[in-house]
Amino acid sequence: MLQLTRTVPVVFTQTPDPVGAGFVDSLARPGGNATGFTLSEYGISGKLLEVLKEISPNVTRAAVIRDPAIQQGIGLWSAIQTAAPTFGIEVSPVNMRGAADVEHSMQSFAQLPNGGLIVTGSGLVLVHRELIIAQAAKHRLPAVYPLRLFVIEGGLMSYGSDSLDPHRRAAGYVDRILKGEKPADLPVQNPTKYELVINLKTAKTLGLQIPDRLLARADEVIE
């Protein structure tokens, strides 16, 4: 849509990196005809590492599946890499371009012990989610996914933004624009609600005992 018009007001939702994608000049001052709500922020990287370590304290290595063709894949990987030493975890990127990348990289990664998996969001990851979940199970890798959908389909756990909240908040921006405000003057907002979802059946299959403190923090527990 933004490639088609520079005049019609646009309110986007769940956009990974609107600055990197060129949709806006900055989050605070969008500067054009578009504004809206991001999918996540890079500060989430520490939380992804934290919950992985909590659910599997023996993890000292983590493969990070990312799409290097999108800005979020580059930016979030960099943030995870920076935060990883704090949690005593060595991270390795898995560049997601297709199914073969996942199978080959995870097979190689799983040859050494104490491994885990962090999956960052992208269209390719959604398309290949069944394969990724199956490979994590095959190699017995505790994994953190970006969306609840992965956990419903058998993934161990997810930590990510509430997928419905930005759409509710976007209605407020649409109302303000219809009343005369300009998208350029409405700052792009990061998520305010994140959710932790845990699949107990998958945890049992992996031989993991979920700490009570983590279960208490979970927004949803699938049994």
185 vs 144: CA distance, rounded Å: 36
- Within a domain: residue 174? yes
pTM comes to 0.88
- Within a domain: residue 144? no
**pLDDT of 221:** 97
- 168: domain CATH number is 3.40.50.2300
Reported as type and span, the H/E element at residue 38 is strand 34-38
**pLDDT of 1:** 46
**pLDDT of 147:** 92
Average pLDDT over every residue of 113-132: 94
Q: Does residue 198 contact residue 215 with C-beta atoms inside 8 Å?
A: yes
Structural domain of residue 184, as residue ranges? 10-40+163-193
Euclidean distance between the first and the last CA atom of the chain, given in angstroms as a whole number: 41
**pLDDT of 40:** 83
- Within a domain: residue 187? yes
- Within a domain: residue 62? no
- Within a domain: residue 151? no
- Within a domain: residue 17? yes
- Within a domain: residue 36? yes
Which pLDDT tens digit goes with each residue over 76-112?
A: 999 999 999 999 999 999 998 888 888 999 999 999 9
36 vs 9: CA distance, rounded Å: 11
Number of domains in the chain: 1
Q: Does residue 84 contact residue 118 with C-beta atoms inside 8 Å?
A: no
Q: What percent of the chain has pLDDT over 70?
A: 98
- Within a domain: residue 47? no
Average pLDDT over every residue of 136-156: 96
